[in-house]
Each structure stands twice: as structure tokens, then as C-alpha cells.
Amino acid sequence: MKILLLGANGQLGAELNRQLPLIAETKAYTHSKLDITDTQAVIEAISSFEPNVIVNTAAYTAVDKAEEEKALAYAINSDAVAVLAQQAAKQGAWLIHYSTDYIFDGGKTTPYTEIDTPNPINVYGASKLAGEEFITTSNCNHLIFRTTWVIGKDGKNFAKTILRLATQQDSLSVISDQYGVPTSPSLITNVTIDAIKAIKKQRAWPSGAYNLVPLGISTWHEVAQTLITIAEENSVPLAISATDILAITTAEYLTPAKRPLNSRLETQKLSRQLSFHLPNWKDDFSAVAAEVIKEFK
């Protein structure tokens, strides 16, 4: 079993790069070693290594900036993904790819299932949806894991921003009307490894999209409060306490890109395949928070 990993220094890519070599021969490329928009380089990387599984974590993830960098967002999240899907089909490799709740408009009042109709409300979501569509029409064996609010110990993310602000400012406002859950790169990695082990045992999960988030429901405000509470319990020097974090609405915090109010994803389809139970978001996030606060102690 050979695995080709792309985007190996992102939040998710870095965690996969630590774990995948423990289960199979893995060739990992960071952005600087392989730009996935360089079609010839991608074809060469795939045809020379002949992977059984291509794991693509490379993505344009700057949601607000994508509104003005539409061509670049589509080049990375859609056109490059089309090439990966074509090459996977040609080589008979599986393509494991990651997508987002931002393919939905957030107008549904219950969690989104894999068969709900997408309707992105920002460029990032539309570019990720276009990437998904190239995969599903390519005839390659594939797993698309749709996840939300990825927060881990690597790279820039919401938790690091909140902690930094909480050490500097005595007031902090966080959105409380967008519903979803944070998802750790560790959880996404564990699910990816479970799926790869199934491929290895010739018991591959059916090709398609799978929602991949921990259980429960939360808001950005609750995630921020949970993080600062853990920081307080661990004596991180802070300028604000968890209970002082103000709850604001999306309408009070305007951003270039619109965000869905409902980011909840239904995970029954994934749970039917998994060899382990999905954790509750607070357990999943607490492990990340414990790592992130170390940088601020």
C-alpha cells in the first residue's frame, strides 16, 4: 500500500504526515515541494510513485480573501482537484479529499445530510463544491470527507487567534448565531486511517461524500468560552475571563464572505462504516485546546 499526501504542512496535512507513515509507505508533498495547480508536476508525481491512495489536503482556505481571489480559489479547489481525480482514475488509485459545510447555504433548520442539495453562499464554498463535482463525475474511487471548523495545534486557526486576543484585550466579542462544531485534525486523521485500512483489506467503503464532524452542537462563542475556561484552569495569563466574552450576531460582525448560520452535519452515514465511535465535540476539542494553550503559558 502506497499513499501520496498533498498539502502536508496545513493543519490537517501536518497531522496526516505524522500518522500515515505508521500504516503505509507515504510520500508527502508540502506546497513548496508540489503546487497542485502545476498539472505536469502533479502527473509526474503520481505516475512515478504509483500510489494506491492519493490524500489531498491541499486547499485554498482563506474564506474572505477568496471573494477577491476567485480565480486562484477555483484553480486550487476545483481545477487542480479535477486533475487529481483524472489521474486517480487513470492509475486505479483511490482519491481521499476533504470538503466543507460551506457548500450549503445554512438555511436548513436541522443537520445537513450527504444527499441535501448544496447551495454555496461564498466563493470558497462554490470552489470547493466545484472540486467535489469533478471528483464525482471522474469515475475514480473516492471518499470526500465534508468537515467543519477545523482547529488543531498546527497552523493558524480560531483557537490561536482567540487565545492571543484574550491575552491582550479586556473585551472580546464572538459570534453566537452560527451553529456547528470544531473538528480536530486528529479526528479527521483517525477517520482517514480507518478508511485506508478498509481499502487495504479489500473492504473499501462505498465511494461518495461522508460528513465528518464530532457529535453535538456548538457556536463559535461557546467554543471560545470552552477554550478560555481550559486556559484559565491551566493558569494561562489572560486579560479576560471566559464569562466576559460577549456574544454577538453575524449581522453585527460583517465579513467579505457570507457564512452559513447552520453548519451542522449529520454523521450517520460515516458512523455506519467507522470501526470506532465519533467523540463529542468537547472531548475532541479539549485535547486540541490543551496543546494550543502550551504556546501561551
Task: Determine whether 201 is exposed, middle or buried from the number of CB atoms within 10 Å of its CB (0-12, 13-18, 19+).
Answer: exposed
- Choice from 74, 112, 149, 210 touching ligand NAP (CB under 6 A): 149
User: In this structure, are residues 214 and 146 in contact, taking their beta carbons and an 8 Å threshold?
Assistant: no
**Could you say whether residue 87 binds ligand NAP (CB under 6 A)?**
no
Q: How far is residue 39's CA from residue 11's CA, in Å, rounded to a whole number?
A: 24
Strand partners, 265: 112
Residue 124 known to be catalytic? yes
Rounded CA separation 189/195 (Å): 10
Quick one: which segment of 81-89, 145-153, 207-215, 225-233 binds ligand NAP (CB under 6 A)?
145-153
Contact positions with ligand NAP (CB under 6 A) in 7-26: 7, 9-13
| Nearest distance in Å: CB 175, ligand NAP | 14
**Could you say which residues in the range 26-65 bind ligand NAP, by CB under 6 A?**
31, 35-37, 57-61
Contact flag: residue 147 with ligand NAP (CB under 6 A): yes
**Per-residue contact flags (x/-) with ligand NAP for residues 100 to 139, judged by CB under 6 A:** x---------------------------x-----------
Half-sphere exposure of 113 (CA within 13 A, CB side): 5
Cell of 179: 451553529
Q: Contact at 8 Å (CB) between 204 and 198?
A: yes
Binding site for ligand NAP (CB under 6 A): 7, 9-13, 31, 35-37, 57-61, 76, 98, 100, 128, 147-150, 155
Catalytic positions, written as ranges: 124
